[in-house]
Chains A and B, each alone.
Chain A
Amino acid sequence: MRRTVGRRGTGDLLIALVVTAIMAALPFGYSNELLLFNFVTFLALSQGLNVLYGFTGYLPFGYVGFFGAGAYGFALTVMHLNWPPLAAMAAAGVAALILAAILTPLLRLSGAYFAIASLAAAQSVYEIVANPALEDVTKGPYGVSLSGVFAPMFSYQVGVAVLLFSLVVVVWLRNSRFGLALQAIREDTVSAAMAGVSVVRGRTIAWLLSALIAGLVGGVYAWHISVFYPDTAFNIQFSIFATVFVLFGGATTLIGPILGVVILYGVYNTIGITVPQYFQLIYGVLIVALVLFLPNGLVSLATRRGIRVP
């Protein structure tokens, strides 16, 4: 039994490494590096959301709040403390962790209440950051410029490292007893508690891990684009896209969110540019069809036949 889990874990880890290697190598053969970086961003962000939604069932509409906190954690330490980018990346993670710790009481809510409350929390953070009265600290609504640390290729590769981290976290959760305990919590909190699982502790760890990933992604995003505004860093589209990608591919799996990003973000960037007039229609039809026929995501095509999907 343990050997099977070990083999599966190795297989999952191999997939994570292959995806990371592909994303690391692509800029050397494809010139649209910004597009590739957006793929890296959403691949990692989707896995971060997968940690929370897939393994505990909490769907945070305000997930972008952690992303924005990371972006500003990075920016503020670079601007005010002159920290080097890699140290500022740590600050990005810490900023998201602090925000998550403050918002931990949200975990007392569930379902739509949690989703809406997390959105409201993200909006609150945005309002604070964008407040003109805080211009000296956050630059308020006027945005930040980090041109001094602008390093597109280096920041891209750090983004790939963040992606690897997010993938490894999901591989660990899929193959560890702690991940199993989280899934038990997702299924039934009362039963999980009677199985000896500390529901509060499990949820909190997943919440913090998920926030950490979003914070790191936000940090590297800030570094990569270098000039941004609160509207950019707290754009709800990050939450929506990450959520749709996870749901489309299939939560709780490693491969599901990857498929979601590659297919949907690929479609978004193909038809969104070539035939923008049909884009909303095609995107909408895809999502409606998925909800109707594959509510558990694309991976359910295999899982419903008893095939294990990584």
Chain B
Amino acid sequence: MSPEPLLEVRGLVKRFGGFRALDGVSFHLASGEVLGLVGPNGSGKTTCINVISGLYAPDGGAVVFEGRSIGGTRSHLLARGGINRTFQSPKPFLSLSVRENVEIAATYGNTGEPVDLPTLLASLELDRHAEHPAGDLNSAQQKTLDLARALATRPRLLLVDELAAGLNPAELGRMADRLRGLADDGMALLVVEHLMGFIDKVTDRVIVMNAGREIFEGTLGEATRDPTVVQVFLGGHVPA
């Protein structure tokens, strides 16, 4: 029997003018599970994360978190309520120190047990830079800081948007281990990523999206053998 879903997305629709960025996407995610969201550029992966994290209000469908409908709820309330995210392009508070970046999230976004910030920073190898401005970090470190800031709110659902891009192989391995560790501790993760090796290492199952729709759900291995998925990723005609 599958565990009770922490997040349930039902028939999600998001339009930008006449363009349907999300066209009836549905999936569910349980605590401790890692779901990958893959697909070509423009398929709606980041839009999906933006809607779940409150950046955009949905135009149709429902987002249900822990049994409550959260579609259109403002981001800061979602952050306090157990949902957080990282960004495709890192968005730290550049003029503030690394410590302050995380401290703000721990102060305002965490409604549970206090977070041990030095331990959190050390676990993400940011402790050496704690008093440096976030603007001094390189891009990979800024992405890690995005993750640290999200974790400082003690989320139960973490939305990870292309965190692996720009990391070297050693960093990729460590990041994958970290994300798996979070899932092992009970956190649910929705991971958007283009690096299939990373997705393979981190996720339990994947959803493949194209043109705002879900075209496949299963393991990554199964996805690579699915003719529709192959057509979307590689082009060409797939016999009926």
Contact = CB atoms under 8 A, between A and B. Distances in A.
Contacts, number: 83
B27 interface: no
B91 A195 contact: no
Nearest to B54: A193
B91 A193 contact: no
A190 interface: yes
B95 A191 contact: no
Contact of A191 (B74, B80, B91, B99): B91
B96 A194 contact: no
Interface string B91-105: 111111001110111
A251 to B, nearest CB: 11
Interface stretch (A122-130, A166-174, A196-204): A196-204
B156 interface: no
B149 interface: yes
Contacts of B152: 195
Interface stretch (B31-39, B107-115, B212-220): B107-115
Given A187-B96, A195-B153, A177 B107 contact: yes
Contacts of A1: 99
B99 to A, nearest CB: 8
Contact of A190 (B55, B84, B109): B55
A243 B21 CA distance: 43
Contacts of A195: 76, 79, 104-105, 108-109, 149, 152-153
B26 interface: no
A188 interface: yes
Contacts of B210: none
Given A180-B104, A181-B104, A187-B96, A196 B80 contact: yes
Given A183-B93, A187-B95, A188-B91, A193 B104 contact: no
A184 B92 CA distance: 9
A194 B53 contact: yes
A196 B100 contact: no
Counting contact residues on chain B (CB < 8 A from A), the size range is: 20 to 34
A23 B80 CA distance: 45
B87 interface: yes
Contacts of A197: 76, 104, 108-109
Nearest to B55: A190
B91 A190 contact: yes
Interface residues of A, number: 18
B92 to A, nearest CB: 7
Interface in B139-164: 146, 149-150, 152-153
B85 interface: yes
Contacts of A199: 76
A191 B92 contact: yes
A187 B109 CA distance: 17
Contacts of B53: 194
A194 B79 contact: yes
Nearest to A296: B95
Interface in A158-182: 177, 180-181
Contact of A193 (B76, B96, B100): B76
A191 B79 CA distance: 10
Interface string B185-228: 00000000000000000000000000000000000000000000
Contacts of A194: 53, 75-76, 79, 84-85, 105, 109, 149-150
A190 B75 contact: yes
A199 B54 CA distance: 13
Nearest to B130: A1
B95 A196 contact: no
Interface in A212-270: none
Contacts of A187: 92-96
Given A187-B95, A188-B93, A177 B104 contact: yes
A193 B80 CA distance: 10
Contacts of A191: 87, 91-93, 146, 149
| The 5 nearest A-B residue pairs measured at CB | A196-B109, A196-B108, A193-B75, A195-B105, A187-B93
